[in-house]
Chain A
Amino acid sequence: MGKGVPSYTDEEFVAAIRHGDDRALAQLYRLHYPMVSHYVLQNSGTEDEAKDVYQEGVMVFYEKVRDGSLELSCQIKTYLYAVCRRLWLKRLSEKTRFSGRLDDHEPFLETGAEADLAAAEERDQQFALMGEALDRIGEPCRSLLEGFYLLDKSMQQLTAEFGYTNPDNAKNQKYKCLVRLKKLFFTHYKEEESF
């Protein structure tokens, strides 16, 4: 850890990240990476897999914090560890179909990680569907919607980019696209749910 980087307590971390402080996020990320990487490497994982798992774990934490729905009953470190451990075990059992002999003799910690992970999984599914729907919607709807919702561009910017005569036209186009997206998204969503 270099000098001049402010060190945060857990509460400060949560508060800073909730307000969108990217430096806090970066510092948190650096702080706990060695722990997770060590755990994954110890349990027949590679460096790249460790990075993947850790990013996913931090993502869960980050989204909970941004939602404001995080209820920490333990240290951030413990929470991240629990989340990443669950993620890694799951991935490992998928990878090898062999979940028996793992370094899984640690006491179960009530961190809320399990429930959070279940919610995160559902969201992942939703996002995957959204990504699929966006892939299928076609141009220029895709670029328009992505520009507006994903990249947070303003209506004026998009009007200029796509060559509409005025923002109202662009807006109308956007709504039409939204209707098509809705159809794609919800039909899939319903299908998935009916399984």
Chain B
Amino acid sequence: MKTEADYYALFDAYQQGGLPATERADLERRLAADPAFARQYADFAALTTTLHAYGERLSTRRKLHAIQADMDAEAAVRQTGETLQTSIPTMPTVYISPVERKLRQFWGAHRATMMVAASVAVMAVFTTLLGLEWWRAAQRPSLYGYTVLRREVERIKRNQRAMNKAIQQVDGSKPVIDLNPGKFSGTGFALTADGYLVTSYHVIQGADSLLIESHDRQRYRAETVFTDVARDLAILRINDRKFAGFGRLPYSFKRGAADLGEKVYTLGYPREDLVFNDGSLSARSGFEGDTAFYQISIPVNPGNSGGPLLDDRGNLIGIISGRQMDMQSAAFATKSSYLMRLVDSLAAAGSGQPYNVPRTNLLTGTSRPKQIRKLQDYVFVVKVYE
């Protein structure tokens, strides 16, 4: 019995044509007659051809690899060769550090995203700012409407200079001695005959020095004695050697509350000259229901602050403080009762000179022009230097 290997030797010989004619004919006959034997031969043939083809494939692959390698080498040579031929030095390449290269790659890949993120961030910031601003405005709506009435002198000074210049040109005389008019100014009035004055706190707020100027151009230095921020009150005292007292004050201070609808008036220095204004007492509470203040219907202007508010009989009932911008002629004045309470407490504390607040009223029953003529000597400009 032949083994399979022996048959393979036979097949191999047959394929290569190395069999004698008789054996060959014998084999072919057997292949035709025996299907199992034929299949064995077919398997053998398939195996050897596949092996051959596999070998061929491997060698072809090697060939192609070699060609590719040749090409790559040539390309490399050509690159270096070209630069040699043309003898052009290789262009200097910008050295990019690995970190920068990474950053560049990142930028290239995520540029669009980053742009969007940046614009979103910018929008968010602005929205937040605007929102906050709006929210704050909503929180305190009407404080914006409140204006204190101290006068900014700088603004006016410019106009004055222009006017001075014009006057000089007209009459050609020597220039007027230019007094420093101070930074702010307000109004103040005498509290006692011996040199105490009252004005609004916001007039003297942040003051370095104060100068009191009377109707007849008398100037005195003054200092702050006491301030009450909540009621917007300030008490000053003249500390000037040439000051010899005011004389008897013609008005008295009302300790109680004034009546609604009372005719009231004020004197003040919204300009360089004394200005009179009158109106009525329109409410017993001030801005946002502040009970320390009256609301009055007097047209007041910056510079009126600290001015006296008097009723028909010449009683002092308040101190002008501020006005509301978004309301027609709504001004506010601190109630005199608070001023009196303050004076009383200061007197009780017993610091400094006693307060001889006038008790009698010389204005009652006289006409308004007469009252004002008496009054004007006790109303002053308060000039503030910072």
A interface footprint on B40-79 (CB within 8 Å = 1, 0 otherwise): 0001100110111111111111011101101100000000
- Assuming the contacts A25-B63, A176-B5, asked whether A130 and B56 have C-beta atoms less than 8 A apart, the reply is no
Contact B67 A26 (CB under 8 A): yes
Contact B9 A171 (CB under 8 A): yes
Contact B67 A30 (CB under 8 A): yes
A129 CB to closest chain B CB (Å) equals: 9
A-B contact count (CB 8 A): 78
| Chain A CB within 8 A of B377 CB | no
| Chain A CB within 8 A of B4 CB | yes
Question: Main SS of the interface on chain B?
Answer: helix
Which residues A62-108 have CB closer than 8 A to chain B? 62-63, 66
Q: Which of A26, A59, A178 contacts B60 (CB 8 A)?
A: A59
| Chain A CB within 8 A of B12 CB | yes
Contact B64 A29 (CB under 8 A): yes
CB nearest to A33 among chain B residues: B71
| Chain A CB within 8 A of B8 CB | yes
B9 / chain A contacts, CB cutoff of 8 Å: 171-172, 175
Which residues B176-198 have CB closer than 8 A to chain A? none
A2 to B288, CA, bound (A): 99
- Assuming the contacts A29-B64, A55-B65, A175-B9, asked whether A150 and B71 have C-beta atoms less than 8 A apart, the reply is no
Q: Which of B54, B59, B60, B71 contacts A130 (CB 8 A)?
A: B54
| Chain B CB within 8 A of A149 CB | yes
Interface size class of B (residues with CB under 8 A): 20 to 34
A150 / chain B contacts, CB cutoff of 8 Å: 51, 54-55, 58-59
A51 to B8, CA, bound (A): 41
Contact B55 A30 (CB under 8 A): no
CB nearest to A186 among chain B residues: B43
- Assuming the contacts A150-B58, A175-B5, asked whether A181 and B64 have C-beta atoms less than 8 A apart, the reply is no
A18 CB to closest chain B CB (Å) equals: 13
Contact B47 A151 (CB under 8 A): no
| Chain B CB within 8 A of A113 CB | no
A33 / chain B contacts, CB cutoff of 8 Å: 71
A172 to B47, CA, bound (A): 17
B4 / chain A contacts, CB cutoff of 8 Å: 179
A152 to B54, CA, bound (A): 12
Which residues A148-195 have CB closer than 8 A to chain B? 149-152, 171-172, 175-176, 178-179, 181-182, 185-186
A93 to B107, CA, bound (A): 29
A79 to B188, CA, bound (A): 108
B50 / chain A contacts, CB cutoff of 8 Å: 126-127, 130, 185
Contact B5 A130 (CB under 8 A): no
CB nearest to A52 among chain B residues: B68
A55 / chain B contacts, CB cutoff of 8 Å: 61, 64-65, 68
Query: Could you tell me which B residues sit within 8 Å of A by CB distance?
Result: 4-6, 8-9, 12, 43-44, 47-48, 50-61, 63-65, 67-68, 70-71
The 7 A-B residue pairs with the shortest CB-CB distance, nearest first, are A150-B55, A175-B5, A149-B51, A175-B8, A26-B67, A55-B64, A29-B67
- 7 A-B pairs (CB sep. < 8 Å): A30-B71, A33-B71, A63-B56, A127-B50, A149-B51, A182-B43, A185-B47
